[in-house]
Amino acid sequence: MKLDKLIEKLDILEINGNRDIDISSIHYDSKSITTDSLFIAIKGYSSDGHKYIENAIKKGAKAFLIEDDVNIDNKEEYTFIKVEDTRNAMTIIASNFYNNPTNKLEVLGVTGTNGKTSIITFLKQILSEKYKIGSIGTINIDDGKKQIMSKNTTPESIDLQKYFSKMLENECEFCTMEVSSHSLYLDRVENVNFSIGMFTNLTEDHLDFHKDLDDYRKAKEKLFYKTSKANIINIDDVHGKKILDNIKDLDTPVYTYGINCEADFMASDIKLYANGVYYKLHTPTYSDEIYVSVPGKFTVYNTLAVISASYLLNIEIDIVKEKLKNTIGVRGRFENIPNDRGITIIVDYAHTPDALENVLNTAREFVGGKIITVFGCGGDRDKAKRPIMGKIAQQNSDITIITSDNPRTEIPKLIINDVLKGIEMNKDNYAVIEDRKEAIYKAIEMAEAGDVVMIAGKGHEDYQIVGSTKHHFDDKEIAYEAIQRLK
């Protein structure tokens, strides 16, 4: 594409060099650069893209989008475009380069602290009955033909627009997508035209990144100004109510869901079982009965969001009911590890206080014996949630084993010490086993028939990040190993 066309809608402060050149690819990372490309220099949290411009030239970049003036030899041989904010300008360029794919692709975005992966998984299973669907989220990216593992929940704008364009090429009509608060804050989705936006809930997480909960909510709220068909909001959540107040006068219609308040989509007569939930559904035009083969009150909320979106997309309720009844669930979310010892072993992705409390409450509903919880907190992430999770684990379990979960560049013992600040030390119902494998072995070894072993925090992850190295580690595999060892 001609550079001129690529930078069409940018607010340019200064441009030096030829605009009439062909650009074959666009990059924000010098490591991926190929010849005749445009390199976008971003000032990040740990590095500054401007430092890599000479390296980018060696690899064949011809044009540069910059914020700071650059001093290099033979500068006149290249084109430099200076803008106020390269990260923001990148979203416009990315969308231009891939011919604005979300003008055609219907993107259904979900934001909120918990429930995003669950909702897009259910929604994809339902919509796939009638349409070809792509999806983008924590577990993987599906471009309609192949699935690749995700690096982040919501990719950087260039990658995102490339995936959208691939989905169109593969004849997808919809994309179900998780929209993280980081992506809204860092403009990764700035130039995406969303069709429907959904809000799940907002609870303590990521306060290492966002100033406070209000700042965190404001980031999430940005999604609802980017939608054209509808916004769907959980108004049982106080932050959901606030968002509703702020967006109710927009042109995009708002629909609400909830259990405890008068909402457009409501659940009543809820019954929670060990292997699923039942409820009566009330919509603006009809009522029906819903059974979902995934346990937990949070499943009621997640499926209310799914049902609301399906309703607005005119999917027949019979299809929705059938898919929810027979769903295979969501990988690493309340996933049951079958065994012949009479214990219920669950691998779950709860890595926030609210999620941990929810899964433990759900287990309490059906446990015959004890609840033994294994969990840790991630390094280089929100520190404030650590003691809260410690307290929640101890209060809602009979035995708590505190261990490691992606320590990243932090010292595992120090993370555990933060968790211990929330633990009542005079009780003897907790233990620290830093090695996660040993912790899981111990929990399963001590469990008796009727007990629940809740292995929380990593869900689908098949790695443990220590320092900056990713080692293979899979809670499910270790749980199976633990069962085998006892034979």
Ligand X SMILES: Nc1ncnc2c1ncn2[C@@H]1O[C@H](COP(=O)(O)OP(=O)(O)OP(=O)(O)O)[C@@H](O)[C@H]1O
Ligand Y SMILES: CC(=O)N[C@H]1[C@@H](OP(=O)(O)OP(=O)(O)OC[C@H]2O[C@@H](n3ccc(=O)[nH]c3=O)[C@H](O)[C@@H]2O)O[C@H](CO)[C@@H](O)[C@@H]1O[C@H](C)C(=O)N[C@@H](C)C(=O)N[C@H](CCC(=O)O)C(=O)O
Interface positions with ligand Y (CB under 6 A): 28-31, 42, 44-47, 49, 52, 138, 152-154, 156, 180, 182-183, 186
Q: Is 154 annotated as a binding residue?
A: yes
Q: Is 457 annotated as a binding residue?
A: yes
Question: Restricting to residues 132-161, which ones interact with Mg ion according to CB under 5 A?
Answer: 138
The interface partner of residue 397, options being ligand Y, ligand X, ligand API, none and the CB cut-off 5 to 8 Å by kind, is none
User: Could you tell me what percentage of the chain is helix, strand and coil, using 3-state DSSP and rounding each to the nearest 5?
Assistant: 35, 25, 40
- Tally Cβ neighbours within 10 Å of residue 364: 12
Q: Is 405 annotated as a binding residue?
A: yes
The interface partner of residue 164, options being ligand Y, Mg ion, ligand X, none and the CB cut-off 5 to 8 Å by kind, is none
Q: Is the Cβ of residue 79 or residue 153 nearer to ligand API in the bound state? A: 153
Using a 10 angstrom Cβ sphere, with 0-12 exposed, 13-18 middle and 19 or more buried, the burial of residue 274 is middle
The interface partner of residue 335, options being ligand Y, Mg ion, ligand API, none and the CB cut-off 5 to 8 Å by kind, is none
**Euclidean distance between CA atoms 376 and 425, whole angstroms:** 17
**Euclidean distance between CA atoms 280 and 302, whole angstroms:** 15
Q: Is 227 annotated as a binding residue?
A: no
Phi-psi region of 147 (alpha: psi -120 to 50; beta: other; left: phi over 0): beta
Q: Is 183 annotated as a binding residue?
A: no
Give min distance, CB of 468 to ligand Y, in A.
10
Give min distance, CB of 159 to ligand API, in A.
17
Which of these segments, 80-88, 387-395, 411-419, 454-462, binds ligand API (CB under 6 A)? 454-462
Question: Restricting to residues 90-119, which ones interact with Mg ion according to CB under 5 A?
Answer: 116-117
Give min distance, CB of 319 to ligand API, in A.
31
**Euclidean distance between CA atoms 486 and 344, whole angstroms:** 15
Question: Restricting to residues 352-371, which ones interact with ligand X according to CB under 6 A?
Answer: 354-355, 358-359
Residue 352 sits in the site that holds ligand API (CB under 6 A): no
Q: Which residue is nearest to ligand Y (CB)?
A: 44
Judged by CB under 6 A, which of 125, 303, 400, 406 binds ligand API? 406
Give min distance, CB of 389 to ligand Y, in A.
15
Residue 114 sits in the site that holds ligand X (CB under 6 A): yes
Residue 335 sits in the site that holds ligand X (CB under 6 A): no
* Run of H or E including 62: strand 61-66
At 464, give phi and psi (nearest 5°). Answer: -125, 125
At 332, give phi and psi (nearest 5°). Answer: 70, 10
The interface partner of residue 310, options being Mg ion, ligand X, ligand Y, none and the CB cut-off 5 to 8 Å by kind, is none
Is 165 in contact with 143 (CB distance < 8 Å)?
A: no
Is 27 in contact with 38 (CB distance < 8 Å)?
A: yes
Q: Is 112 annotated as a binding residue?
A: yes
Which of these segments, 5-13, 78-86, 226-234, 457-465, binds ligand API (CB under 6 A)? 457-465
**Euclidean distance between CA atoms 444 and 346, whole angstroms:** 11
Angle at 142 between CA 174 and CA 175, to 5 degrees: 15
Binding mask 137-166 for ligand API (x = CB under 6 A): ----------------x-------------
Give CA torsion, residues 310, 313, 314, 317, to 10 deg.
Answer: 0
Q: Is the Cβ of residue 276 or residue 457 nearer to ligand API in the bound state? A: 457
Q: Is 285 annotated as a binding residue?
A: no
Using a 10 angstrom Cβ sphere, with 0-12 exposed, 13-18 middle and 19 or more buried, the burial of residue 139 is buried
Q: Is the Cβ of residue 94 or residue 350 nearer to ligand X in the bound state? A: 350
Side-chain half-sphere of 418: how many Cα atoms within 13 Å? 20
Residue type, 286: Y
The interface partner of residue 117, options being Mg ion, ligand Y, ligand API, none and the CB cut-off 5 to 8 Å by kind, is Mg ion
Q: Is the Cβ of residue 96 or residue 358 nearer to ligand X in the bound state? A: 358
Q: Is 297 annotated as a binding residue?
A: no
Judged by CB under 6 A, which of 378, 390, 412, 422 binds ligand API? 378
Secondary structure class of 34 (helix, strand, coil):
coil
- Tally Cβ neighbours within 10 Å of residue 208: 11
Question: Restricting to residues 451-470, which ones interact with ligand X according to CB under 6 A?
Answer: 459
Total residues in contact with ligand API, by rule CB under 6 A: 9
Secondary structure class of 226 (helix, strand, coil):
coil
Phi-psi region of 59 (alpha: psi -120 to 50; beta: other; left: phi over 0): alpha
Q: Is 436 annotated as a binding residue?
A: no
* Nearest residue to 118 via CA among 460, 480, 455: 460
Q: Where are the alpha helices (DSSP H) in 313-371?
A: 317-325, 353-366
* Nearest residue to 210 via CA among 338, 113, 343, 294: 113
Phi-psi region of 112 (alpha: psi -120 to 50; beta: other; left: phi over 0): left
Q: Is the Cβ of residue 138 or residue 303 nearer to ligand Y in the bound state? A: 138
Residue 476 sits in the site that holds ligand API (CB under 6 A): no
Question: CA-based Rg of the chain, rounded to a whole angstrom?
Answer: 24
Q: Is 461 annotated as a binding residue?
A: yes
List residues forming the annotated binding site for ATP. Answer: 112-118
Q: Where does this chain bind Mg ion (CB under 5 A)?
A: 116-117, 138, 178
Q: Where does this chain bind ligand X (CB under 6 A)?
A: 114-118, 138, 153, 178, 200-201, 298, 301-302, 333, 348-350, 354-355, 358-359, 459
List residues forming the annotated binding site for meso-2,6-diaminopimelate. Answer: 381, 405-408, 457, 461
Q: Where does this chain bind ligand API (CB under 6 A)?
A: 153, 351, 378, 381, 405-406, 457-458, 461
